C-alpha cells in the first residue's frame, strides 16, 4: 500500500512538474519563429536567446525528475 502511494506521488511529481516547462518551451519556440519571420536578419541572436531560454526551462523539468526519483527510491 505504501509503495503504491509513493509511486503515485512520483508520477504526479514528474507529470505536473513537466507541464510548465513543456508549455514554456512551446511558447518560446513559437514566439522565436514569429520574431524570425518578422525580422529574418536577426535570426542568429534570436536563436541563441531561444536556445538559452529553452535550456533554463528544461532545467526545471530535470529538477522535477530528480524529485520524482527521490520520492520513488528514498
> What is the spatial distance between Cα 12 and Cα 17, in angstroms, rounded to a whole number?
8
pLDDT at residue 2 is higher than 90: no
Q: How many domains does the chain have?
A: 1
Print the domain residue range for 52.
2-73
Whether the per-residue pLDDT at 74 is higher than 90: the answer is no
What CATH number corresponds to the domain at position 14?
Answer: 1.20.20.10
User: What are 8-56's pLDDT values in tens digits?
Assistant: 999 999 999 999 999 999 999 999 999 999 999 999 999 999 999 999 9
d(CA 42, CA 36): 7
- Please tell me the distance from the alpha carbon of residue 70 to that of residue 27, in angstroms, as a whole number: 30
Report how far residue 54's alpha carbon sits from residue 28's, in angstroms, rounded to the nearest whole number.
Answer: 7
Q: Does the global pTM surpass 0.85?
A: no
Amino acid at each position: 500500500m505504501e509503495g503504491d502511494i509513493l509511486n503515485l506521488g512520483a508520477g504526479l511529481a514528474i507529470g505536473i512538474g513537466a507541464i510548465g516547462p513543456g508549455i514554456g518551451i512551446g511558447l518560446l519556440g513559437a514566439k522565436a519563429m514569429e520574431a524570425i519571420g518578422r525580422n529574418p536578419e536577426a535570426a542568429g541572436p534570436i536563436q541563441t536567446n531561444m536556445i538559452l531560454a529553452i535550456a533554463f526551462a528544461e532545467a526545471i523539468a530535470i529538477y522535477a525528475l530528480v524529485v520524482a526519483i527521490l520520492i520513488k527510491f528514498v
